[in-house]
Amino acid sequence: MMRRVEATQRLRAVEASVSSDAVISALDDPSPEVARAAIRRLVALEGDGAAPALRARVLDVELGVVADFAKALAQIGDGRVLEMAIGGLDDQRPTRRLAAIRAIGALADDPAGVGPLRAALDDDVAGVRAAALEVLGRMARPGASVGADCARLLSDPVAYVRTVAVRTVARLVSHPGPTLSAAAEDQDRLVRLAVGQFAASLPERAARALLEDPDVRVREAAARAAGVREVDALAALLRDDRAPDVRRAAAHSLGAMHEQQVADLVLPGLEDRDALVRVAALGALERLLTREGAVRRLCDELSGERASRRRACLYALARLDAREAARELTRLVTDPDPEVRLALIHTAALLDEPERIIRYLSRDTDQAVRNAAEMWRLRASRAES
């Protein structure tokens, strides 16, 4: 807390300072906020005269503010900053090489940095290779030949580098699926998690491997990214996967397919034991059929053979506040399954004449239904009084 107060005081002092020497000293402040304020203030005071002080520090400051120094130099028209950054890639100190990469990334509009960054992909330090990949992913044009160089790092010995390589290749390589397919079976879960986000572009075998991955988060990522080709696999995940997050992701992807026949595959999700999965399945049904279409389909299911489906659809209609379904719901007063009749009491607000229906159910053959009906009548009478 004390350090934060002191940093705030230094920040205010920098912002109010009219002394260039004092502001230059603040460029080395350990607080990134203070250092950034010093950059802005020095440029305001000195204009292009701030270049020597900024240039002298750009590769030696905290990595988090390197980009701020580089951008400030570019803003005041310093033509040497990119040259300095490129030269820093040959420095023996890894921290300086990392700073050089960040500086080049801050000057992303200049393509002259792409070639040196390609060479940095062979650096001995994993962090430098990963940083070069990240910046190339932002700087290089999609489809550029640099994508092939980045793809080599999909087999890097360090898992973090392979993870970054997946994201970079996905952006730079045209039709990256075949190139990324081997990563679907990487031994590291974070690599598989990264490639799972591009499941729709992968060959079918690789996509299926991710949808069946032993790791929950990998399956979830793949389910969210899967396309129409994996519709059957997604339906199986929605029905059977042990993780609710995966089932919810499968429902989301099925709902995005814009094919009305997919609605049949979404309906089991309405019966899920997890409330969030049920909400996701209902949302998918609405996207596939529109709200009106979803209400009609749910009403059709009320006459189906599965009692659990009838009950689930009743609650789904209640969530949609489908008062237009009152007539179909009223027929459930004689449903053979007591759980459905009990659900009808819980959703009685949708009915045209709920008091009459509840009075009938208060004489039901099932004790739980009778009790629920009596509780409903008691609450209604208290509300009236």
Confidence check: pLDDT of 2 > 70: no
Looking at residue 51, its pLDDT comes to 93
d(CA 221, CA 342): 38
Q: What angle do CA 15, 16, 18 make, to 5 degrees?
A: 110
d(CA 139, CA 1): 39
Average predicted confidence (pLDDT) for the chain: 93
Residue position matching structure tokens 């305001």? 44
pLDDT in tens, 261-306: 999 999 999 999 999 999 999 999 999 999 999 999 999 999 999 9
Average pLDDT estimate for 238-264: 95
Inter-residue long-range contacts of 351-360, CB under 8 Å, 24+ positions, other chains counted: 351/326, 352/326, 352/327, 355/380, 357/330, 357/333, 360/333
Where exactly are the structural domains of the chain?
Answer: 1-107
Assigned token pair, 273:
């034991």
pLDDT in tens, 144-179: 688 999 999 999 999 999 999 999 999 999 899 999
Assigned token pair, 35:
């250092």
Residues ≥6 apart with Cβ < 8 Å to 65? 32, 35, 36, 39
Looking at residue 385, its pLDDT comes to 65
Q: What is the pTM of this model?
A: 0.86
- Torsion, Cα 377 382 384 385, to 10 degrees, reads 140
Helix, coil or strand: residue 351: coil
Looking at residue 336, its pLDDT comes to 95
- Confidence label for 318 from pLDDT (cuts 50, 70 and 90): very high
d(CA 280, CA 284): 6
Looking at residue 37, its pLDDT comes to 93
Looking at residue 1, its pLDDT comes to 62
The alpha carbon of residue 383 and the mean position of all alpha carbons in its chain are separated, in whole angstroms, by 44
d(CA 74, CA 268): 58
